[in-house]
Structure 1
Amino acid sequence: MGEPLTVFEVHDDGQVKMTVVGPDLRKGQRPQYTVPPNVWFGAFLTHDIESFTDDGSVFVKTPGRDPDLHYSFVGVTCAPAYQFEDDEMATHDGMKTLAPNAKAFINYLIPA
């Protein structure tokens, strides 16, 4: 429900991939998506970003978006089952080291 969501992935080799999850198949959106194992990922509302480069090095935020009016309702399923003791959060510096070209998106998605 709501607006499309863009899944932002950073792979171990520093490759960046973005996939739009949403209902509009004609626009290339996908109704569901599986993030591969051992890949860092985050997500943002697709319409919050006006334009960006494929490698994540540059992006322009859409001005004037009220977060109370714009949302995306999604779910995440983990397999095998999610274990809290296995949880690991990405760090700002770690992600910049892994994907230095994606610094603009990393600064947006991960608080310093």
Structure 2
Amino acid sequence: MKNTLEQLITKFDLKPHPEGGYYKETYRSSGTIAEANLPAAYDGERNYATSIYFLLMADNFSSFHRINQDEIWHFYDGSPLLLHIITPEGVYSEHLIGIDLSRGEVPQYVVPGGCWFAAEVIEPSGFSFIGCTVSPGFSFADFQLGKRSELINDFPKHADVIERLTRG
């Protein structure tokens, strides 16, 4: 039996995420990395790793954002997801996260830390249920939601995708 959107939100107690979609933290390591052992971009200590469930619907999108850490996306259920990435140097790429290998989908993908990235569900009226693992562990202090005008100014040749996958 295929899971429904409502079942996933209820079963996993998912809450709205600032970038779009729903999420719930499922893991935060008990061990931490001292600030002195982290690159300068980090303010304070971080857990070794964190993990969340993330649910995105076709009528929504995950807005362009970035974090300091690498983030591994894992596909679980639903529609494939299209992940859009812009490196700090302005190189754009897109990646299909899913399980149909014959269509070029991959079940997991690593977004390098410092890259801007956004995601959208491929199937109209579908949803994508995935997981995200971050190391060093995620902190909202490392999270930056992209501002449309600033991203277009920094990456004008990607204005179309930035316009479509940002909110104001």
TM-score bucket of the superposed structures, by smaller chain: 0.7 to 0.9
Instruction: Note if contact 1:6-1:21 (Cα within 8 Å) is conserved in structure 2.
Output: yes
Correspondence for 2:148: 92
TM-score (norm 2): 0.52
Q: Which has a greater percent of helix?
A: 1
Task: Give the number of equivalent residue pairs.
Answer: 92
**Structure 2: which amino acid aligns with 1:111?**
R
Measure how far apart 1:85 and its partner are. 1.8
Deviations 1:26-83 (A, max 9, x none): 1110000000111010101124xxxxxxxxxxxxxxxxx4xxx411111111110011
Selected match of 1:36 from 108, 112, 134: 112
Structure 1 runs of 4+ with >4 Å offset: none
Measure how far apart 1:99 and its partner are. 1.7
Measure how far apart 1:9 and its partner are. 0.5
Correspondence for 2:88: 12
Matches within 5 A, 1:1-112: 1-47=77-123, 65=124, 69-112=125-168
Instruction: Note if contact 1:8-1:17 (Cα within 8 Å) is conserved in structure 2.
Output: yes
| Uncovered stretches (5+) of structure 2, i.e. residues with no partner | 1-76
**Structure 1: which amino acid aligns with 2:91?**
Q
Mapped partners of 1:87, 1:38: distance in 2: 10
Instruction: Note if contact 1:20-1:28 (Cα within 8 Å) is conserved in structure 2.
Output: yes
Give % identity: 28
**Structure 2: which amino acid aligns with 1:38?**
G
Instruction: Note if contact 1:5-1:44 (Cα within 8 Å) is conserved in structure 2.
Output: yes
Aligned alpha-carbon RMSD (Å): 1.2
Measure how far apart 1:91 and its partner are. 0.9
**Structure 1: which amino acid aligns with 2:160?**
A
